[in-house]
């Protein structure tokens, strides 16, 4: 099995390093990851600037990776279209430092990288670890390895990928695995207004989870209950249910 | 009617200026838009840097806007949560210079701004003009005004917004209005490898439409046929159809 591994926390993040090592035990791994943290970049692509690419080697394990001066989606595009001699069997994005639940996935660079892979018709998973002190990366790495061994026995519909969130608990504290739908997470993005030394205004975007639903079928609830959450997601945003109704609007033009 | 207007081509772009003037004839318009071009930024948000905010006035019409040192999604968030004293009746994003069709919408800053508005439970539309020489902004502005007058007579389901694409034709050449689903547009992102004067490698992301389907129900086909396309989209990425099947996978852990 050949795995393309990327993330949005950057190539030196603890999450991708833990996953790299765990997957290397069962597969060939090619890492193509951002040079620095690129979280909250959604599916942004770099079209107005050149994209730097260089090799980045670490000693333990003694392996080399591609370090990319771009977004997670850039990483997947450039890996598949310029760097790799052949397509990988699967693309894995993570381990993200922090959860990507419900509507969060829309902002997530980690999930967007996996969506980009699915757009290239490849199996893909995004893996995120809930906040914890400490972050239990080993639990997330081991479960992802387990999932990678299971996936070849199944096929997902085209355009579909798996969004995986893992509680930050030691393995024996995990309460099971739930296959979920995306929940809703609303933020209060308390913007904080400040003035710089020259009198000019700027804002910081804060952001705290304001309310979460308690629908038992969602990813949000699964994580709250100490379960690993797997949500099958796709990228067809069409709301088919409403098309016929909008056809009845009066929108004649000329 | 109070309209919040934003875009991803920046506050000085021709598209937003044309729309601003057309909507001002029927509504109160507040413009909160990026300082410079921010296309292809998807739903990225600015959390690692401060966001500059200042007032930007133009003379004809003599009105002032908010100019934001951030992404289109930042603009919607900061407008709704910090700048506007009350929520607008609708959020309009555009007119984008170039189409946002099919899978393109995932990369689009224009569409993402409208998605952000829908996440705030507001009616929202994204408006994009197909490439043309010249760009027929007036056609797009006039149709958007027509749509804004129609929308208060209907209600859309929660989480649903309209993605509007308009052919770059003079008004009397428009072949009608089609309510569509998102099509598929595949790109060849021909990456071009170069060397800088110091011998270091960089790439430019090119990108040409490689194939488009010809399903008559899609936005891609509507635009090809000279029709205005309106696609109702939502932001629930869950693939409900596959949840039950994934529950049968063997994913026990510990």
Given a cut of 70, is residue B62 above it in pLDDT? no
Query: How distant is the Cα of B254 from the closest Cα of chain A, in angstroms?
Result: 6
Please choose, from the candidates B69, B167, B156, the residue with its C-alpha nearest in 3D space to the C-alpha of residue B114.
B156
How far apart CA B50 and CA B68 sit, in angstroms, is: 11
- The set of residues, in sequence order, having a beta carbon less than 8 Å from that of B134 and lying 6+ positions away, is B168
**Mean pLDDT across the stretch B51-72?**
85
Give Cα separations from B111 to A153, A237, B43, B134, B161 (angstroms).
37, 11, 8, 23, 9
pLDDT single digits (tens) B19-41: 999 999 999 999 999 999 998 99
What value does the mean pLDDT of chain B take? 93
What is the tens place of the pLDDT at every residue in B11-22? Answer: 999 999 999 999
User: What integer is the mean pLDDT of B177-197?
Assistant: 91
B239: pLDDT strictly greater than 90? yes
SS3 A125: strand
Q: What is the CA radius of gyration of chain A?
A: 20
* pLDDT at residue A183, rounded to an integer: 94
Q: Which residues of B touch A207 (CB under 8 A)?
A: 47
- Any bridge partners for residue A230, and if so which? A164, A179
The whole-angstrom separation of Cα B157 and Cα B135 is 33
pLDDT tens digits for range B112-157 = 999 999 999 999 999 999 999 999 999 999 999 999 999 999 999 9
Annotated binding site of A for a divalent metal cation: 8-9, 39, 96
Question: Residue A251 and residue B146: Cβ atoms within 8 Å?
Answer: yes
Asked whether residue B68 carries a pLDDT value surpassing 80, the answer given is yes
Q: Are B26 and B11 in contact (CB under 8 A)?
A: no
User: Is the confidence at residue B237, as pLDDT, over 70?
Assistant: yes
ipTM over cut 0.90:
yes
Give the residue from A183, A16, A33, A41 showing the smallest Cα distance to A112.
A41
Interface test with A, best of B139, B237, B249 (most A CBs within 10 A): B237
Tokens of A73: 């989606």
How much is the pLDDT for A223? 96
Q: What is the pLDDT of residue A254?
A: 67
| CATH annotation of A2-183+214-246 | 3.40.1210.10
Average pLDDT in the B93-119 region? 96
pLDDT band at B71 (very low <50, low <70, confident <90, very high): very high
Using the Cα atoms of residue B129, residue B132, residue B137 and residue B138 in order, give the sign of their dihedral.
Answer: negative
Q: What is the least distance, in Å, from the CA of A45 to any CA of chain B?
A: 6
Asked whether B221 and B215 are in contact (CB, 8 A), the reply is yes
Element holding A195 (H helix, E strand) = strand A191-195
**Tell me, what DSSP letter sits at residue A80?**
I
Percentage of residues of chain B with pLDDT beyond 70: 97
Q: What is the pLDDT of residue A194?
A: 96
Containing A76, the helix (H) or strand (E) segment is: helix A72-78
Nearest CA in chain B to A42: B44
Give the C-alpha separation, A114 to A6, whole Å: 9
Confidence of residue B185 (pLDDT cuts 50, 70, 90): confident
Residue of chain A whose Cα is closest to the Cα of B166 = A253
- B81 to A192, A213, B125, B126, B216: CA distances (angstroms): 10, 21, 19, 20, 41
Question: Which pLDDT tens digits describe chain A residue by residue (254 residues)?
Answer: 999 999 999 999 999 999 999 999 999 999 999 999 998 999 999 999 999 999 887 665 567 899 999 999 999 999 999 999 999 999 999 999 999 999 999 999 999 999 999 999 999 999 999 999 999 999 999 999 999 999 999 999 989 999 999 999 999 999 999 999 999 888 877 899 999 999 999 999 987 887 677 899 999 999 999 999 999 999 999 999 999 999 999 998 76
Cβ–Cβ gap A51/B202 under 8 Å:
yes
Query: For A204, which residue in chain B has the nearest alpha carbon?
Result: B50
- Is A254's CB within 8 Å of B156's CB? no
**Does B78 sit within 8 Å of A205, measured CB to CB?**
yes
- Quick one: CATH architecture of B2-184+215-247? 3-Layer(aba) Sandwich (3.40)
Instruction: Give the model's confidence band at B254: pLDDT under 50 very low, under 70 low, under 90 confident, else very high.
Output: low
pLDDT (0 to 100) of residue A207: 79
Q: Which pLDDT score, from 0 to 100, does residue A160 have? A: 96
The DSSP 8-state label assigned to residue A83 in this structure reads: I
Give the whole-angstrom CA distance, residue B122 versus residue B127.
Answer: 16
């Amino acid at each position: 099995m050949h795995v393309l591994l990327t993330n949005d926390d950057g190539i030196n993040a603890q999450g991708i390093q833990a996953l790299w090592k765990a997957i290397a035990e069962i597969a060939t791994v090619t890492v193509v990851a951002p040079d620095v943290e690129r979280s909250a970049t959604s599916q942004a692509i770099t079209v107005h600037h050149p994209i730097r690419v260089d090799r980045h080697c670490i000693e333990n394990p003694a392996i080399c990776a591609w370090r990319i001066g771009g977004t997670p989606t850039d990483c997947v595009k450039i890996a598949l279209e310029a760097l790799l001699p052949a397509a990988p069997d699967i693309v894995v994005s993570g381990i993200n430092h922090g959860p990507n639940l419900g509507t969060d996935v829309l902002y997530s660079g980690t999930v967007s990288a996996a969506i980009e892979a699915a757009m290239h018709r490849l199996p893909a998973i995004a893996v995120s670890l809930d906040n914890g002190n400490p972050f239990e990366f080993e639990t997330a790495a081991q479960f992802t390895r387990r999932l990678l061994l299971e996936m070849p026995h199944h096929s997902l519909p085209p355009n579909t990928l798996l969004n995986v969130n893992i509680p930050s608990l030691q393995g024996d504290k995990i309460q099971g695995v739930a296959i979920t739908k995306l929940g809703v997470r609303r933020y209060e993005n308390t913007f904080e207004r400040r003035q710089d030394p020259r009198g000019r205004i700027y804002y910081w975007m804060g952001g705290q989870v304001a309310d979460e639903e308690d629908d038992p079928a969602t990813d949000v609830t699964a994580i709250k209950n100490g379960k690993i959450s797997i949500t099958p997601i796709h990228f067809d945003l069409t709301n088919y249910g409403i098309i016929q109704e909008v056809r009845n609007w009066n929108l004649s033009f000329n």
